């Protein structure tokens, strides 16, 4: 509150979204100002600074900010993802078993639609929790702070009494309905300790909800829970040498699928080993750190 007659709020908005907020010839921002009876100041193209909302009452200011947040969220979901939340699944035993699995698949299940480039690099094996688009350094700092906060409010409370948490990577599944036309083949995970059953699912769902509420992550329509998966083979790798995290925004209709029916028949219950969950990463797509895994923007420890 500025004084007895005016309320004010200010917040960072990436330059990528200012055009969507302003609209053609200023139509969208003018509509928000009119409907909410507020004055909204937006930095010019060559300026830095926050978006500032001034209004006669707190409710007016909140209404205007909600409208702007909805526009940002809608625009964000159309962007190519830049980061993803991940749990590394790449200890020495799992990497060794995955390399064995890949070699056997290529030897025992020869298929013109399946090539080695479709396999993820073994040191990049990971459990995907969710993806997001972070357009500038301010957004990366915001999400880093959110993840750090989530360690204390979500991760540690959930893991209490279950540390060390070990998960087994065993068995195969695929994303679509036809095993003869697969785009993504992945490994399944399950907790080693029966007392911790369902814990990774709860953890993943809670983290996605945390970032969804903050406006940085979307939820899949019609799904209450995230699909826990460790990608092994992805047809998107066919078009590029960059083996990376699953990209949710990309259409898969034009991809060349592969026949995975024989792989599923021969290796349905393949056991890749056990990984202790010690860290959760905010990983950068299209990167590789010195250890062969994705370059992290932020890492939180799961140790208590």
The radius of gyration of the chain from alpha carbons, rounded to an integer in Å, stands at 22
Q: What is the pLDDT of residue 251?
A: 54
The domain ranges of the chain are 7-76, 83-301
Q: Quickly name the fold that domain 83-301 has.
A: Cyclic Phosphodiesterase; Chain: A, (3.90.1140)
User: CA-CA distance, 138 to 8, in Å (whole number)?
Assistant: 21
Q: Digits of tens for pLDDT over the chain (304 positions)?
A: 666 678 999 999 999 999 999 999 999 999 999 999 999 999 988 888 999 999 999 999 999 999 999 999 999 999 999 999 999 999 999 999 999 999 999 999 999 999 999 999 999 999 999 999 999 999 999 999 999 999 999 999 999 999 999 999 999 999 989 999 999 999 999 999 887 899 999 999 999 999 999 999 988 766 789 999 999 999 998 865 444 544 444 455 568 999 999 999 999 999 999 999 999 999 999 999 999 999 999 999 999 8
| Angle of helix 58-76 versus helix 27-36 axis, rounded to 10 | 150
190: phi then psi, degrees, rounded to nearest 5: -150, 150
pLDDT reported for residue 243: 47
Phi-psi region of 194 (alpha: psi -120 to 50; beta: other; left: phi over 0): alpha
Q: CATH classification of 7-76 is 3.30.1370.10, yes or no?
A: yes
Residue 190 bridge partners (DSSP): 168
- β partners of residue 128: 86
Residue 155 in contact with residue 299, Cβ under 8 Å? no
SS3 content of the chain, % helix, strand, coil (to 5): 40, 25, 40
* b/e map 57-93, b = 16+ CB within 10 Å: eeebbbbbbebbeebbeebbeeeebbbbbbbbbbeee
Beta bridge partners of 88: 126
Residue 223's CB is within 10 A of a number of other CB atoms, namely 9
Alpha carbons 13 and 135: distance in angstroms, whole number = 10
Query: Residue 210 contacts by C-beta under 8 Å, 6 or more apart in sequence?
Result: 146, 150, 153, 154
How many Cβ atoms are within 10 Å of 37's Cβ, its own excluded?
14
Return the pLDDT at 5: 78
Distances (CA, A) of 291 to 55, 90, 96, 122: 51, 10, 15, 11
pLDDT of residue 271: 98
């Amino acid at each position: 509150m500025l004084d007895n007659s005016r309320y004010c709020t200010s917040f960072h908005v990436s330059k990528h979204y200012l055009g969507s907020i302003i609209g053609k010839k200023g139509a969208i921002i003018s509509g928000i100002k009119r409907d909410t009876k507020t004055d909204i100041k937006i930095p010019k193209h060559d300026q830095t600074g926050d978006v500032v909302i001034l209004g006669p009452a707190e409710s007016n200011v909140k209404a205007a900010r909600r409208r702007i947040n909805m526009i940002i969220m809608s625009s964000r979901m159309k962007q190519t993802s830049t980061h993803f939340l991940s749990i590394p699944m790449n200890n020495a035993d799992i990497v060794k078993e995955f390399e064995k699995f890949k070699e056997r698949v290529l030897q025992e299940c020869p298929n013109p639609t399946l090539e080695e480039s479709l396999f993820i690099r073994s040191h990049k094996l990971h459990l995907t929790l969710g993806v997001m688009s972070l357009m500038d350094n301010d957004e990366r700092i915001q999400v880093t702070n959110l993840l750090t906060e989530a360690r204390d409010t979500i991760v540690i409370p959930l893991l209490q009494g279950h540390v060390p948490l070990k998960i087994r990577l065993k068995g195969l599944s695929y994303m679509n309905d036809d095993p003869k036309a697969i785009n993504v083949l992945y490994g399944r995970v399950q907790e080693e300790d029966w007392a911790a059953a369902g814990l990774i699912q709860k953890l993943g769902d809670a983290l996605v909800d945390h970032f969804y509420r903050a406006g940085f992550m979307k939820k899949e329509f019609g799904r209450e829970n995230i699909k826990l998966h460790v990608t092994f083979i992805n047809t998107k790798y066919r078009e590029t040498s960059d083996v990376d995290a699953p990209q949710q925004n990309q259409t898969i209709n034009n991809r060349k699928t592969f026949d995975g029916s024989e792989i599923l028949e021969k290796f349905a219950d393949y056991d890749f080993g056990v990984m202790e969950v010690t860290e959760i990463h905010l990983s950068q797509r299209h990167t590789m750190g010195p250890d062969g895994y994705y370059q992290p923007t932020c890492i939180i420890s799961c140790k208590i």
